Structure 1
Amino acid sequence: MATTVTFRESPSGTVTAVPPNAVPKSRHEAPVRPSSADRDAGQIGDVDQGSLLPATPSPRGAFRRRYGVVYDTQGPRVRMAVVWVVAVVASLAIAPLRPYGLATLYAVVAGAAAMQVVDAWHHVRTGGDRWVAALGASSLPVLATQGARPLGAGLLVLVVAALIMASRRAVPDMSLLASAGHTVLSAGLCGGAAASLVLLADYEIGAVIILLVYLMVYDASDYVVGSGATNGIEGPLAGGLFIGAATLLLAELEVPPFRGAEIWNFAVLAAVACPMGQVIASAMLPRADVPAPALR
């Protein structure tokens, strides 16, 4: 019996005979296994197994992602800052309306900040009441215009209102105290910070003006430097240095109520409290990058 032979054309143009029982080697050859030396070296072929594993997160990077400051560079930030400065100066310009104008301005911002904190947590837990938090935070600076006792009474009313609303909502995954505590925390911190500024304005207007100057120069320096930095230190450091530069001028002018080295104690306190306030604001949110412009 004659053997049948087929032909195929090779790339060079010559004809090559292929036996009928010829099978490509790839169908019968066993897969190539990596040698023990390759396995010990952590490589298979040309691929490094180490490059396939995720990098170990840095503790410093994890801290910044949770408690750091995220600089939002989108939008008219400079114009908004100028509008804010004008609004603060206008609230302090007229002496008879001074505490009430400042209280009204900060009451609006405190209420918006408390509402943003509660809303930021709603995708994680729904315990906080956004309207109780907003109204409570807004009422504290207004009550501070009447003194410390009305402010303390307002805090007690806030706690009672938060407990009542938490009992009516009955969130299954949170206890009554935890749900009410979330509302009180959001309103108390935001409204309390604004109320303390109003109380200080009632006691000593010069200290409030100096404190507002420190806050504004810190925020401006921190934003300009920190938004372009690759770490979370340069921004607060620039803000602290600008506070020191402003203190040199204020100490030379002997702006009341401080005399001599007293203003430097106030400056050091402001330089420490400003970045700590940023960390606390991030801690109030589920993540540092959650949008909360009024809180910031």
Structure 2
Amino acid sequence: MRPARPTGAGSADDFASFAWVDRLVSGYDLEGPRVRMGILWFVLAVAAAVAGSVAVALLFGIVAFAAALQTAAAWRRTRRRPSRLVAGTGALAMPVAATLGIGLAGVAALAFAAAAALVAAVQPRRRLHPVAAAGYTLRCGFFVALAAASAVFLARTDAAALVTLVVLVSAFETGDYLVGTGAASPVEGPVAGIAAVLVLTFTVAVFELPPFESGSAWVFGGFVAVLAPLGRFLAPVLAPSADARVPALRRLDSYLLVTPIWAWMLWQYLL
């Protein structure tokens, strides 16, 4: 394992000194009740999927809200000043709006962008161009909001599909964490996670668990195998440093890319 750097982000100079590989390969957080929290998250996510889109919006929306606040706070320590209020509100508003339909979710996304631009334009003593400042606010909240809203779309389209996604993503995270924590290479964890996804995809395909048939199960499972690892690499790019303390963002990292793709694909597949 790589030696740990001090957590959090210091100055803008510290941020600029990070190698690009450190921004992508962030290592594994061994502090705190990570395993227990992972199990609790899995249980809550499955229960929310079964309960319906409102429960999914509340669960994923609250985590997205926390992720946006934590990421914005981390950026502010680097002398960037994203709006925590706008980032957090937007991250929660999009999944809540998604319970009423894709149109309202789109309106919430546009309102999020407009609020970020407005706050950046009127911010006193700004160090950045307003467009750049608004971009940092959106960077903190938009991607987690999109993942949460997409989970709501999945729940509205087919709850069983969302349960399957949660199971496959959790399988990736379990394999990634268990192998990656003791691995000498940063690729061993993701490879183990991908293997776990493929094993469970085989089960879904053989038994044709609804709403999937054999062939479609491999297509959807294959996207989890590819996109869940990429989501883990995207999360430290959204934060100011690879080791920034943003646990809520880390809770959603594997969902960042795969959930929007699954929501679009499932809509095409079923409708």
| TM-score, normalised with respect to structure 2 | 0.82
Q: Which residue of 1 aligns with 2:234?
A: 280
Mapped partners of 1:266, 1:93: distance in 2: 20
Distance in 2 of aligned mates of 1:237 and 1:250: 20
Matched, 1:262 2:216: yes
Alpha-carbon distance in structure 2 between the residues aligned to 1:265 and 1:110: 27
Q: CA deviation at 1:289?
A: 1.1
The residue that corresponds to 2:49 in the other structure is 92
1:293, CA displacement in angstroms? Answer: 0.6
Which residues of 2 match residues 36-55 of structure 1 at below 5 A?
A: none
**Percent identity between the aligned chains?**
36
Structure of higher CA gyration radius: 1
Contact 2:50 2:159 in 1 (8 A): no
Q: Counterparts of 1:229 and 1:171 in 2: how far apart (Å)?
A: 47
Tell me, yes or no, if structure 1 residue 102 matches structure 2 residue 59: no
The offset of 1:271, in angstroms, is 0.6
State the alpha-carbon separation in 1 of the partners of residues 166 and 33 from structure 2: 22
Letter of the 2:48 partner, please give it: S
Equivalent position to 1:65, from 22, 29, 36: 22
Q: Deviations over 1:201-246 (max 9, x none)?
A: 1112222111111111111111111111122100110000000111
Q: State whether residues 120 and 130 of structure 2, in contact with CA within 8 Å, keep that contact through their aligned partners in structure 1.
A: yes
Q: Is the 8 A contact 1:64 1:232 kept in 2?
A: no
The code of the aligned residue for 1:287 comes to S
Query: What TM-score, normalized to structure 1?
Result: 0.75
CA contact (8 A) 1:140 1:155 kept: yes
In the TM superposition, what whole-angstrom CA distance separates every residue of 1:48-74 from its partner, at most 9, and x where no partner exists?
Answer: xxxxxxxxxxxxx94431211321111
What residue in structure 2 maps to residue 77 of structure 1?
A: 34
- What is the CA deviation profile of residues 99-154 of structure 1, one whole-angstrom value per residue up to 9, with x for unaligned ones? 00011000010011111111111122333101110111011111111111001100
Q: Is the Cα–Cα contact under 8 Å of residues 50 and 163 in structure 2 kept in the other structure?
A: no
Deviations 1:82-111 (A, max 9, x none): 2112212221333xxx10001100001001
Bigger mean CA deviation after superposition, 170-179 or 242-251: 170-179
Aligned partner of residue 261 in structure 1, secondary structure:
helix
Q: Distance in 1 between matches of 2:192 and 2:26?
A: 14
Question: Contact conserved, 1:218 with 1:242, CA < 8 A, in 2?
Answer: yes
Give, in whole Å, the separation in 1 of the partners of 2:96 and 2:190: 31
Q: Distance in 2 between matches of 1:252 and 1:228?
A: 33
CA distance in 2, matches of 1:194, 1:69: 23
Q: Does structure 1 residue 200 correspond to structure 2 residue 157?
A: no
CA contact (8 A) 2:49 2:155 kept: no
1:77 to partner: Cα distance: 1.5
Out of 159, 166, 169, which is 2:113 matched to? Answer: 159
Task: Name stretches of at least 5 consecutive residues in structure 1 with no aligned partner.
Answer: 1-60
> Partner residue of 1:214?
168
Query: Separation in 2 of the partners of 1:243 and 1:281?
Result: 20
Equivalent residues of 1:200, 1:207 under 8 A apart = yes
Instruction: Point out the structure with the larger helix share.
Output: 2
* CA positional deviation for 1:288: 0.7
Specify whether residues 91 and 171 from structure 1 end up closer, same or farther in structure 2 by C-alpha distance, changes over 3 A only. same
Q: Which runs of 5+ in 2 are unaligned?
A: 1-17, 251-271
